[in-house]
Structure 1
Amino acid sequence: MAAVSHPLFARVYERLSVAMDRAGTAAFRRDVAAGLTGRVIEVGAGNGRMFAHYPRAVTEVVAVEPEPRLRAAAVRAARTAPVPVTVVDGLAEALPAGDGEFDAAVIALVLCTVPDQTAALAEIHRVLRPGGQLRFFEHVAAEEPGPLRRVQRLLDATVWPKLFAGCHTGRDTVAAIGAAGFAIDEVRRFRFPATSSSPSSPCVLGRATHVEQRPH
């Protein structure tokens, strides 16, 4: 497995994720996990902040995280999770799982960071059974053309990915999910924090369904 080590960012993120959850992202995580059942793969589990929100109808979570410090934190978080969680090393673009192995996949603040979003979504599509669900909560491009979207493009091409472990603020993630062979069932667009004009404030939270044949 190729090493993905961002020790400084990992240290910052461990604290930042706790503060963000207190400020409101915990509620978004609950919405992402609500109603899930069966076997779930969580891609880019970070330090395990999703684990507490899985309902008891989930029989197992396989949590994939490539960054060593965050993965170790996820292992600790798994010990107190309400459902069985197995934390494994792995990349979103090469998931350590078989075809059609899972009933659902969860991605929370991950697709902004993966080096190859198309490859990551293809892998998620591969490991989900037909009809399986994809739940997502992501930073995305501003919905309307204008100054914020221009700032996102500028930052993504310069300093933002270097400062935030590869994060991009301006990806059209909903369109990418649809292009990867998922039917978009529900999308909620909002800013977090609600009054912020930060480049990373535009977000989406939604659900999509794995379809057997990708649309042409």
Structure 2
Amino acid sequence: MAGQAVSHPFFARVYPHINAFAEAHGSVEHRQEMLAGVHGRVVEIGAGMGSNFVHYPPEVEQIVAVEPEPRLRALAEQAAAKAVVPVEVRAGRAEALPAHGTFDAAVFSLVLCTVPDVPAALAEARRVLKPGGELRFYEHVRSENPRFFRMQRIINPLWGLAGGGCSVTRDTEQAIREAGYTVEEIRRFVFRINGRAGPASPSIIGTARPSTC
């Protein structure tokens, strides 16, 4: 798939360590919460190193996992081999997904912070969902606290350089609504590690469906 690669070698090297630390402090439970009740065919967009694969329930028939970063994709392929549900890992970007109207669920997990064109990615997810399909999301977002948000805005340029383009200032819930989804469930929380909140701590987990009107 020409033109689909995105190379972030530094981030790809350090992310497994960041992820392991987060999982040791609660992100495993967040992933499980996001995926509870998912079934049928699933497209996971920006699958990273495949950290979600072991948390999909057995009612899932197949996962098509799309990841543009080659080093992370190689790790996702290793994770796919250990998953209890069938996983197909593909090169690709959120703005250009495979197939049309063939998935029961689309999953965004800690990826909309890095996608260059969020509206296009959410529109693509709508396009590949079956009628009645659902969007599952777990993302860190801009803080609702004005003082904390000011700190996020100050640190965001450096954060993006170190974090593979990650932004800590996006209002992802609003972006989902503006992309034509109805948010059915959402939980907002601050993911504190050892009692401390960092720039990426404000988070949301939820479910949305394409609006019918």
Tell me which interval the TM-score lies in, with the shorter structure as reference length. over 0.9
Scaled by the length of structure 2, the TM-score of the pair is 0.95
Distance 1:44 1:53, change over 3 A: same
Aligned length: 210
Q: Show CA shifts across 1:31-76 (max 9, x none).
A: 1111111000000100010000001110000000000010000000
Answer whether contact 1:130 1:211 (CA < 8 A) is retained.
Answer: no
1:48 is matched with 50
1:30 is matched with 32
Aligned match for 1:58, one of 54, 57, 60: 60
Structure 1: distance between partners of 2:180 and 2:74:
33
Amino acid at match of 2:181: F
Answer whether contact 1:41 1:104 (CA < 8 A) is retained.
Answer: yes
The unaligned stretches of length 5 or more in structure 2 are: none
Answer whether contact 1:129 1:210 (CA < 8 A) is retained.
Answer: no
The percent of aligned pairs where both chains have the same amino acid is 50
| 1:110 equivalent in alignment to 2:111 | yes
Q: Secondary structure at the match of 1:159?
A: helix
Answer whether contact 1:38 1:60 (CA < 8 A) is retained.
Answer: yes
Answer whether contact 1:34 1:55 (CA < 8 A) is retained.
Answer: yes
The unaligned stretches of length 5 or more in structure 1 are: none
Q: Provide the alpha-carbon RMSD of the alignment.
A: 1.2
2:121 is matched with 120
Answer whether contact 1:130 1:212 (CA < 8 A) is retained.
Answer: no
Answer whether contact 1:40 1:105 (CA < 8 A) is retained.
Answer: yes
2:158 is matched with 159
Q: State the Cα distance separating 1:197 from its structure 2 match.
A: 3.1
1:211 is matched with 211
Structure 1: distance between partners of 2:158 and 2:78:
32
Q: Show CA shifts across 1:128-156 (max 9, x none).
A: 11211111000101013x22111112222
2:20 is matched with 18
